[in-house]
């Protein structure tokens, strides 16, 4: 164990046993501190959450901080919002929890504290758990609920955590959207009343809202200044975030599983574990909070988070369902010739009795369509090897169509309300499989297992999910446990993911769910990345990827160069701009290369080569958002800085075009003031270099002044258009 971890653990133990702070729990990360009061026989209470404190400030902390119950329960103070509400078998709906004991243990790169609470009368227990990471400024908190009563206890409300936030000029930043318009940013002051952000989709939880928020404590949010609390619920299912501003001096924040239509009957000795709520605190604004989340994600909450991602071509927008052996070979040859590393065959490759020609059949029948692919997947893998690239494949394993051999064999496997007709989704025939059923879990695991056992050279799986739970009913769960459906679905989903990862730890898996429907930290430990949106329009992606970056690192954000006019918006955006936007995430292509000109292929080949140079910075560096597109100043800008601060990549996109427009000059951030940085433009199309090309500037100058970016590209007259963008590579001069 390293020295810093030993010191953090020592401080926690000292506070547990020291005379002044007897019965207090201290949890610290490299830069943050949480203090809780945990007197035996008393209430567990929050004392402090924020920056690390000196010993003197710690000793005097309780004289200036207002304490709040850390996990408030319902029944003895009914007018207030609570985290936990139950109904005992005798009808009693109250709880009175008091501290029994505190246990502190070491884990890999973390310190864990468990405070065990017990009801004063009933044998009902709650473990309030905290994990303080020692290599990232994140504290995770969750609860473990159990009892030893003779009959089941009904859980009516079961939040993961509660956090009091002192009133003042506090602003909330959160994400909203819909299909093809995910990750939109909303920022608003917190005012009296109740703010609720929730999801009820059942399968996917990040299309219309996100289970992550940030609180700016010093007024209107700033990207690189100000105190910010960030919170991310690590759950793949229905969630509810509540922020109550009542008549006291605090905003009261609760986060957890959405209890609506999900009351849970807890059996004796069964443990109900709520999902983790990840908390961070930053003095460096919204971007500082993002950097904390990104580091934690790469190290602990994202599959292969420290591994660089391959540059790929996905077949979907290139050919849609028109899959065939020759066409796939051609696309592989094209991406290989441009320097790509992976080809992914999307929807349309499967089905025997019911060949997959459109979206209305075949889901569940995961066998190769021999008419489309006479040489099978073996032939595709052989072609990929011939071209020197890897091969990936699309599946949608949680779904079926009523027009499928699977549904004909197992109609009892689908989610369906008793005494009701099926509610059908995409294509008029799609249904959701009931993952509460262990037989369904085995079937879904076997889809991946058979693919990987038969074709171990498959490098990548694109895992899709294109339907919500539209009707409430499990044909597997008992009639008295139908309210467990949403929870059991995601328990089953996680069990499948755990089995897949245990057997295939090196497989790359993308979470696609009608685009960005599954961007959450409950799922990402099993997935390498997610598809930000089905909308690949570069201008709209500036906005969507901006919001998504608040909580998720670039290494997880799949961002592809697509065709013009765009398939979703029909907007015609020049290739240079499309490339520059895609290069700010995990670069890929979503296009039919044979429809590109030689000049366009050459531009993409050059961009792929240059992206390989900056890939470590983008995918593993620190983000600094500089000018928000939501500020409506005509441009957007952000940058990534290498951890050593010796390299950086600066992005600038114009978002609107007018004659005689006046755009702000962008000051950079995150650089070392004393280092000298040479500037080189990537993906250049101008007839002459920028005035500052290959010139060197100090980090101090670039952060105080920035560089004057030309509003338009200097190109031949017939190549002019109304878009412009720049990518600048900064490298330390040694």
pLDDT computed for residue 19 by the predictor: 30
Q: Is the pLDDT of residue 15 over 90?
A: no
pLDDT 10s digits, 178-207: 999 999 999 999 999 999 999 999 999 999
CATH 3.20.20.70 residue ranges for the chain: 312-620
The stretch 152-175 carries a mean pLDDT of 98
Model pLDDT, residue 62: 81
Specify the pairing of strand 272-273 against strand 239-245: unpaired
Encode pLDDT of 611-667 as tens digits.
999 999 999 999 999 999 999 999 999 999 999 999 999 999 999 999 999 999 999
Cα(519)–Cα(176) distance, rounded to whole angstroms?
12
Average of per-residue pLDDT across 161-185? 98
CB–CB of 290/175 below 8 Å? Answer: no
Average pLDDT over residues 117-128: 98
**How far is residue 274's CA from residue 144's CA, in Å, rounded to a whole number?**
6
Query: Could you say which of 3.40.50.1370, 2.40.10.120, 2.70.98.60, 3.30.470.20 is the CATH number of the domain covering 3-301?
Result: 2.70.98.60
Q: Where in the chain is the domain with CATH 2.60.40.1180?
A: 624-732
| Superfamily of domain 312-620 in the CATH hierarchy | Aldolase class I (3.20.20.70)
**Continuous segment of H or E residues that includes residue 42:** none
Other Cβ atoms closer than 10 A to 523: 25
Distance (Å) of CA 601 to CA 227, 333, 561, 583, 606: 46, 12, 12, 16, 9
CA–CA separation, 328 vs 374, rounded Å? 12
Residue 4 has pLDDT above 80, yes or no: no
Per-residue pLDDT at 7 exceeds 50: no
CB atoms within 10 A of CB 362: 30
pLDDT of residue 23: 79
DSSP, res 73:
B
**407-448 per-position pLDDT tens digit:** 999 999 999 999 999 999 999 999 999 999 999 999 999 999
pTM score above 0.85: yes
The pLDDT confidence band at residue 8, using thresholds 50, 70 and 90, is very low
d(CA 221, CA 424): 43
Q: In what order do the strands lie in the sheet with 45-51?
A: 24-28, 32-37, 45-51, 68-69
Statement: residue 229 has pLDDT above 80: yes
pLDDT of residue 11: 40
Q: According to the model, what pLDDT value does residue 13 have?
A: 39
Average pLDDT, the chain: 96
- 657-666 b/e (C-beta count within 10 Å ≥ 16 → b): eeeeeebeeb
Count of CA atoms in the C-beta half-sphere (13 A) of 129? 22
Answer for the pair 364, 409: CB distance below 8 angstroms, yes or no: no
pLDDT at 394 over 80: yes
3-state secondary structure of 318: helix
Question: Which letter, b or e, does each residue of 706-717 get, where b requires 16 or more Cβ atoms within 10 Å of its Cβ?
Answer: bbebeeebeeee
Instruction: Work out the widest C-alpha separation in the chain, in whole angstroms.
Output: 83
- Rounded to an integer, the average pLDDT of 386-390 is 98
pLDDT at 181: 98
Nearest to 667 by CA among 630, 700, 620: 700
CATH (residue range 624-732): 2.60.40.1180
Taking alpha carbons only, the member of 462, 731, 654, 556 closest to residue 183 is: 556
Residues in contact with 536: Cβ distance below 8 Å, sequence separation at least 6, in sequence order:
317, 560, 562, 566, 567, 568, 590
Tens of pLDDT, residues 440-461? 999 999 999 999 999 999 999 9
- Distance between CA atoms of 734 and 732, rounded to whole angstroms? 6
Summarised one tens digit per residue, pLDDT across range 700-709 is: 999 999 999 9
Element (H, E) at 140: strand 139-147
Q: How does 535-565 read in b/e, with b if 16+ C-beta sit within 10 Å?
A: bbbbbbbbbbbbbbbbbbbbbbbbbbbbbbe
Average pLDDT over residues 692-702: 98
Cα 73 from Cα 82, distance rounded (Å): 5
- CA–CA distance, 728 with 732 (Å, rounded to integer): 13
Whether the pLDDT of residue 354 is over 80: the answer is yes
Is a pLDDT exceeding 50 seen at residue 14?
no
For the chain, where do the domains classified as CATH 2.70.98.60 start and end?
3-301
Q: Is the pLDDT of residue 12 over 70?
A: no
Q: Round to whole Å and give the CA distance between 341 and 336.
A: 7
């Amino acid at each position: 164990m390293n020295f810093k971890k030993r010191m953090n653990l020592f401080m926690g133990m000292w506070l547990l046993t020291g005379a002044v702070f007897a019965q207090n729990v201290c949890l610290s990360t490299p830069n943050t501190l949480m203090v809780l009061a945990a007197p035996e026989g008393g209430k567990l209470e929050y004392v402090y959450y924020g920056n690390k404190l000196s010993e003197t400030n710690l000793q005097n902390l309780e004289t200036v901080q207002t304490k709040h119950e850390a996990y408030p329960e319902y029944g003895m103070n009914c007018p207030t919002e609570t985290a936990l509400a139950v109904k005992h078998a005798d009808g009693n709906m109250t709880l009175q929890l008091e501290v029994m004991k505190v246990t502190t243990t070491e884990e890999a790169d973390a310190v864990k504290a468990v405070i065990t609470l017990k009801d004063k009368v009933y044998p009902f227990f709650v473990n309030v758990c905290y994990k303080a990471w020692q290599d990232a400024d994140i504290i995770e908190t969750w609860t473990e609920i159990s009892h030893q009563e003779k009959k089941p206890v009904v859980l009516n409300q079961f939040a993961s955590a509660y956090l009091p936030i002192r009133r003042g000029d506090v602003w909330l930043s959160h994400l909203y959207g819909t299909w093809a318009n995910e990750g939109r940013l909303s920022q608003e002051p917190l005012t009296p009343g109740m703010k609720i952000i929730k999801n009820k989709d059942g399968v996917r939880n990040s299309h219309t809202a996100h289970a992550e928020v940030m609180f700016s404590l010093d007024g209107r949010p700033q990207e690189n200044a100000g105190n910010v609390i960030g919170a991310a619920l690590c759950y793949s299912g229905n969630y509810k975030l509540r922020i109550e501003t009542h008549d006291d001096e605090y905003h009261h924040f609760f986060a957890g599983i959405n209890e609506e239509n999900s009351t849970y009957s807890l059996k004796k000795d069964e443990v109900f574990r709520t999902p983790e709520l990840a908390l961070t605190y930053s003095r460096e604004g919204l971007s500082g909070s993002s950097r904390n989340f990104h580091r934690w994600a790469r190290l602990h909450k994202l599959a292969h988070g420290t591994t660089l991602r391959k540059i790929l071509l996905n077949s979907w927008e290139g050919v849609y369902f028109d899959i065939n052996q020759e066409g796939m070979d051609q696309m592989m040859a094209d991406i290989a010739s441009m320097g790509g590393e992976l080809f992914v065959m999307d929807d349309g490759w499967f089905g025997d009795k019911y060949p997959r020609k459109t979206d209305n059949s075949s889901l569940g029948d995961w066998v190769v369509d021999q008419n489309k692919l006479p040489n099978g997947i073996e032939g595709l893998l052989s072609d990929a090897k011939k071209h020197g690239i890897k091969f990936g494949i699309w599946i949608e394993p949680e779904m079926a169509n009523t027009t499928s051999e699977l549904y004909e064999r197992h109609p009892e496997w689908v989610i369906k309300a008793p005494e009701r007709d099926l509610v059908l989704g995409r294509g008029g025939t799609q249904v959701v499989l009931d993952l509460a059923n262990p037989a369904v879990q085995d079937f879904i695991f076997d889809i991946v297992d058979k693919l990987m056992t038969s074709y171990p050279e498959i490098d990548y799986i694109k895992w899709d999910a294109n339907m919500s739970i539209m009707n409430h009913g499990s044909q597997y769960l008992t009639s008295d446990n139908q309210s467990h459906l949403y929870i059991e679905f995601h328990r089953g989903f996680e069990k499948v993911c755990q089995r897949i990862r245990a057997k295939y730890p090196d497989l790359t898996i993308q979470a696609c769910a009608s685009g960005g429907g599954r961007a959450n930290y409950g799922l990402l430990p099993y997935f390498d990345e997610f598809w930000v949106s089905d909308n690949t329009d570069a201008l709209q992606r500036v906005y969507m990827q901006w919001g998504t970056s608040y909580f998720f690192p670039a290494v997880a954000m799949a961002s592809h160069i697509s065709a013009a006019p765009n398939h979703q918006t029909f907007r015609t955006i020049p290739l240079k701009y499309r490339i520059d936007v895609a290069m700010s995430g995990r670069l890929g292509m979503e296009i039919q290369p044979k429809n590109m000109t030689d000049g366009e292929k050459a531009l993409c080949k050059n961009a792929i080569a240059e992206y390989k140079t900056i890939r470590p910075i983008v995918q593993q560096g620190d983000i600094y958002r500089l000018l928000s597109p939501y500020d409506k100043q005509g441009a957007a800008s952000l940058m990534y800085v290498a951890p050593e601060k010796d390299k950086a990549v600066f992005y600038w996109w114009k978002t609107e075009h007018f004659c005689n427009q006046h755009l702000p000059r962008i000051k950079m951030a995150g650089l070392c003031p004393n280092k000298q940085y040479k500037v080189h433009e990537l993906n250049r199309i101008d007839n002459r270099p920028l005035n500052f090309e290959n010139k060197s500037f100090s980090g101090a100058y670039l952060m105080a002044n920035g560089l004057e970016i030309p509003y338009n590209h200097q190109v031949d007259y017939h190549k002019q258009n109304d878009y412009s963008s720049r990518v600048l590579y900064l490298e330390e001069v040694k």
